[in-house]
Chain A
Amino acid sequence: MPDESFVGRSLPAAGPFQVGREKIREFAAAIGDTSPLSRDLDAARAAGHPDLVAPPTFSTTFTMPLIEAFLRDPDFGWDYTRMVHGDQRITFHRAIHGGDELFTTIHVDELRTRAGSHMLTLRCEVADAEGAPVATTSSLLVTQA
């Protein structure tokens, strides 16, 4: 049984996650994204970007491992082995670029139990080294009650 006292709380900010060019290229290749902006530095700069541009779902590379670490923490009491991903939303305050140093804060927004399932909404606020918002992600995760 997940610990409901976590609801409304946030975890300490994690980071910095250094966004490497090769990680952007690796992620783009893994999803079949052939955009020059995510692979070719000259093309990205010619288009007015400071560095390679990450594909839209790139933030999962650093948010999901943090979410997994939280959900595997026995203190929270979540059954990670039976978890499925129900819903994912990402709001971009700006694009993620190569060279960014990003900090992620997980917020435990909601926990509901219905029809034999626990449904957990975790929000990640991603900010840059200056504290400016970069992305807000919201994940609905479901596991058997």
Chain B
Amino acid sequence: MSTPPNPAAVQKGDELPPLRVHLTRTDLVRYAGASGDFNPIHWSDRVAGVAGLPGVIAHGMLTMAVAGRVVTDWIGDASLVRSYGTRFTRPVVVPDDDTGALVEFTGTVADVTGSDGVRVARIDVKALFEGKSVLGRATAEVVLPD
């Protein structure tokens, strides 16, 4: 992680350092325990199949959390995040193997606005799994430190 070298110079169009993350079944089990979301579609192929899914899928909130790291790794302080939201447009199917599902995250400064001396950057985050977007309109607003 690193704080942007010069927050005052952050401008629309800046690219954030990307992230490539392999989500494995172990990651899903660990996230289930940490988050308290034990919905079996995130660990049981049987239940996922009954629910009409192609297999066990990652928690949307896990994908959202990892996508958030693009922003927090860059800004270096989670307390600067003012808002964060996304739509879950497509499931991330996580196979029962040692490699897991590769999800690729990128972030772009979509806008920088200022009011009352506070500059706020709007970051658009993208998450690709098997070449397709799994998050829709993922956006975070971040206060740029002085």
- Chain A residues within 8 Å of B, Cβ to Cβ: 23, 26-27, 29-35, 37-38, 47, 49, 53-57, 60-62, 64-65, 68, 81-92, 94-95, 138, 140
Contact = CB atoms under 8 A, between A and B. Distances in A.
Nearest to B52: A82
A88 B61 contact: yes
A31 B78 contact: no
A88 B68 contact: no
Contact of B51 (A26, A60, A81): A81
Contacts of A29: 30, 34
B70 to A, nearest CB: 11
A64 B35 contact: yes
A134 B114 CA distance: 23
A interface: dominant SS: mixed
Interface string B75-112: 01111011111111000000000000000000000000
Interface of B: 1, 21, 27, 30-31, 33-37, 39, 50-52, 60-62, 64-66, 68-69, 71-73, 76-79, 81-88, 140
Contacts of B68: 31, 55-57
A102 to B, nearest CB: 14
Given A27-B34, A32-B66, A64-B36, A53 B1 contact: no
A91 B34 contact: no
A38 B60 contact: no
A31 B37 CA distance: 14
B21 to A, nearest CB: 7
B32 to A, nearest CB: 9
A90 B1 CA distance: 23
Given A35-B78, A37-B77, A61-B36, A89 B85 contact: yes
